[in-house]
């Protein structure tokens, strides 16, 4: 990770933690009667959209602990301290699940955009190829009667070059049955008697 990435990561984490602190303070001031739990989703969503999964876990832990501290400090008394721990665990779990969901959404949107860009490039390439083929179809093509080379834009090329370069057709070579029969006959005719 380069210095710029580290600085951007620290900035986003600082914004996320600052928002969590403000929400925690507001949660503390309003007391146990007013629940601000849903607002803890804002900093986790910021972290999830811009950072990595490990940062989401850290943000979820900090968010749950901030909520837990604000809850206790605001005067909420529990009959059993285990309930408070349970509520922190539930808060952590909900923040983590939301963060991972937002992170997955971001990744899916990024993949969708990459696929869209690839599709646009393929369509552009196809359009260019189609225009080139239409241009070639509209022109009179000249083929040398002796060498079987074709003239395209005052340049002579083999049929293979033409198909490969202008029509973007992949070629391979083989032998037709007629050519094979001819080669066999020539080979038999050139065979020296023993």
Whether 30 shows a pLDDT value over 80: the answer reads: yes
Average pLDDT over residues 12-33: 89
Q: Kindly tell me the sign of the dihedral angle through the C-alpha atoms of 108, 112, 114, 115.
A: positive
132 within 8 A of 79, measured Cβ to Cβ: no
Rounded CA-CA distance 189/168 in Å is 40
The helix/strand/coil state of 158 is coil
Count CA atoms within 13 Å of residue 3 on its CB side. Answer: 0
Give pLDDT, residue 82. Answer: 93
* Contact criterion met (CB below 8 Å) for 60 and 96: yes
Averaged pLDDT of the chain: 88
Q: How confident is the model at residue 128 (pLDDT cuts 50, 70, 90)?
A: confident
What confidence score (pLDDT) does residue 104 get?
Answer: 96
Beta partners for residue 150, in sequence order: 143, 157
- 71 with 32: CB under 8 angstroms? yes
> Average pLDDT for residues 118-128, to the nearest whole number?
90
Handedness of CA 55, 60, 65, 67 (dihedral sign): positive
DSSP label of 140: P
Q: Which of 6-15, 92-101, 177-186 has the highest mean pLDDT?
A: 92-101
pTM confidence score: 0.63
pLDDT at 144: 86
Please answer whether residues 150 and 157 qualify as being in contact, where contact means their C-beta atoms are separated by less than 8 angstroms.
Answer: yes
DSSP state of 154: T
For the chain, percent of residues with pLDDT exceeding 70: 97
Query: How many angstroms separate the first and last alpha carbons of the chain?
Result: 78
Average pLDDT of 122-138? 80
Rounded distance between C-alpha atoms, residue 110 and residue 103, angstroms = 11
Comparing CA positions, the residue from 34, 27, 29, 33 lying closest to residue 64 is: 27
């Amino acid at each position: 990770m380069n210095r710029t990435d580290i600085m951007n990561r620290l900035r986003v984490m600082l914004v996320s933690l600052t928002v969590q602190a403000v929400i925690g303070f507001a949660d503390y001031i309003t007391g146990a009667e007013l629940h601000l739990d849903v607002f803890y989703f804002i900093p986790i969503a910021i972290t999830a959209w811009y950072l990595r999964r490990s940062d989401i876990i850290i943000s979820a832990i900090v968010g749950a602990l901030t909520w837990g501290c604000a809850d206790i400090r605001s005067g909420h008394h529990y009959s059993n301290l285990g309930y408070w721990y349970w509520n922190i665990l539930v808060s952590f779990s909900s923040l983590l699940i939301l963060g991972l969901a937002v992170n997955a959404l971001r990744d899916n949107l990024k993949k969708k955009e990459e696929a869209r860009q690839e599709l646009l490039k393929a369509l552009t390439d196809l359009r260019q190829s189609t225009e080139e083929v239409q241009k070639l179809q509209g022109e009179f093509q000249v083929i040398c009667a002796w060498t079987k080379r074709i003239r395209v834009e005052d340049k002579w090329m083999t049929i293979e070059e033409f198909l490969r370069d202008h029509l973007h057709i992949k070629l391979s070579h083989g032998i037709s049955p007629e050519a094979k029969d001819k080669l066999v006959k020539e080979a038999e005719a050139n065979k020296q008697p023993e």
